[in-house]
A and B are shown apart, each in its own frame.
Chain A
Amino acid sequence: MSRKALLISPELCMGCRGCQTACKVWNDLPGEKTTNRGSSENPPNLSQDVYNKIRYVEVPSESNPMRWLFVSQRCMHCDDAGCMKICPAPGALFKTKEGAVAFDKDKCIGCKLCVAGCPFDVPRYDGKDKISKCDLCAGRIAEGMAPACAKTCPTGAIRFGDRDGLVAEAQKAGYGKLYGETDLGGLGSLYAFRDAPKFYGMDESPVIPESLVFWHKVLKPLAYWGVGASVAASLVHYLVIGPHKEEEEVRKDG
């Protein structure tokens, strides 16, 4: 099974938010009561009931005072996923064979460490303290269907397909390196940006927190080898040097 991905082209997006609605319908998520914040962007952020949304970014310049970017946001489905790395509960977060980072609420223990492990501020928790996020419509793509957001997108701003194929097509269409093409082992949500990522509200080079990498590469093996070394050293000491013997403890100044 080749890895699947979404290719998101903000310049093709017209901000209709059909993807947000389709996501709610397929995943059976309730609407959220929001307030007028003086922006057309709504709801304001991802939440337990908002797996994807359009970020509205105004980038006025002299040549184009009305430039308005619509950026579809969701789980990035990292190949090297920080959330999966830090998660202490086996099976709570897992990779599907299509490369989606999916979750199993029954196995989630509600520790919320994944929130700290994610470079994109994606994981949210529901009322029962269980992980809640985009899973790339794991059930749909396993049956060969496109995720609800891509299926419903009328302009092709969100496209779903084989990851390699999408990258090749974007290159043919004149995009240089895609956002997420190589970051974090390659993202499952690819972005075809015309400008620097910061204009679209994205980190230039997203990485897993350094402390997490250090923990994974050094502290984890050390916990394994350290306890063994300590037991082994004690055993060797017992066999080679042996215990303190009473008769040897002859001292006058005691």
Chain B
Amino acid sequence: MANMIRKASVFEIANHWTMALSCLVLAITGYGFLFHLEGLNSVFGSYAQMKVIHNYAGIVFSVNIFFTLFLYLPDALSWGSDDITWLLKGGGYLSKGHVNVPPQGKINSGQKLFYLAFLVAGLAISISGFVIWLMPGVKNYILLSHLAHNIAFDFIVFAIPAHGYLGSLANPGTLQIMISGMVPVEWARKRHGKWVREMGY
């Protein structure tokens, strides 16, 4: 067996899965509200029930978003010239052949950018969701929150399929981070060279 290194803690894995599931429930019910998908009544029972599920899934999602602050924010905020080069080269994703990209830390420049954008959208959609839920009838707050909620929703439903693709099919082996949290050291060295060195391998 290859030498393994822990890329994600059990807590991080649990947080990611809970967030993925709450996000899925929120998106499905969200589309139900947005486009009046009455077929969803056969899953959720009724629109009133769907609202309750949406609201409580929102609490779960908000808590998950909060925990990510401690999991990814410090890494996502550390930027250097390597990150710029990495982004300019599109992370090597834009051509069939091999592209030399600068060595990366625990999360790569694309992941940093994704996390920061998702954090902003996640906080916006959580806070605006609570305003819509808890301050009904306060017209200006509701209109602003409704707008923020929907802008963030558009970003999230656009970003998540790509995030899922990059974390699975596009990078064979990556999904293991979300399952066991362990990856082969050699695999990690190629993708997160700086971090592997810092870890003393």
Residues of A at the B interface (CB closer than 8 Å) are 86, 88-90, 92, 107, 109-113, 115-116, 125, 209, 211-212, 214-215, 219-220, 222-224, 226-227, 229-231, 233-234, 237-238, 240-244, 246, 248-251, 253-254
Contacts and interface: CB of A to CB of B under 8 A. Distances in A.
Closest 7 CB pairs of A and B: A112-B136, A88-B33, A234-B165, A254-B193, A249-B190, A116-B142, A248-B98
Contacts of A234: 161-162, 164-165, 169-170
Contacts of A125: 137
Interface string B154-170: 10011111101100011
Contacts of A251: 100, 103, 190, 193
Interface of B: 31, 33-36, 38, 47-48, 50-51, 92-98, 100, 103, 132, 136-137, 139, 142-144, 146-147, 150-151, 153-154, 157-162, 164-165, 169-173, 187, 189-191, 193, 196
A212 B143 CA distance: 7
27 contacts: A88-B34, A89-B33, A90-B47, A109-B48, A110-B51, A112-B136, A112-B137, A112-B142, A113-B146, A115-B136, A116-B139, A211-B146, A212-B143, A215-B150, A219-B154, A220-B35, A223-B150, A237-B93, A241-B94, A242-B96, A243-B170, A244-B172, A246-B172, A249-B190, A251-B103, A253-B103, A253-B193
A242 B97 CA distance: 10
B177 to A, nearest CB: 14
Nearest to A235: B165
Chain B facing A: main interface SS: helix
Interface of A is mostly: helix
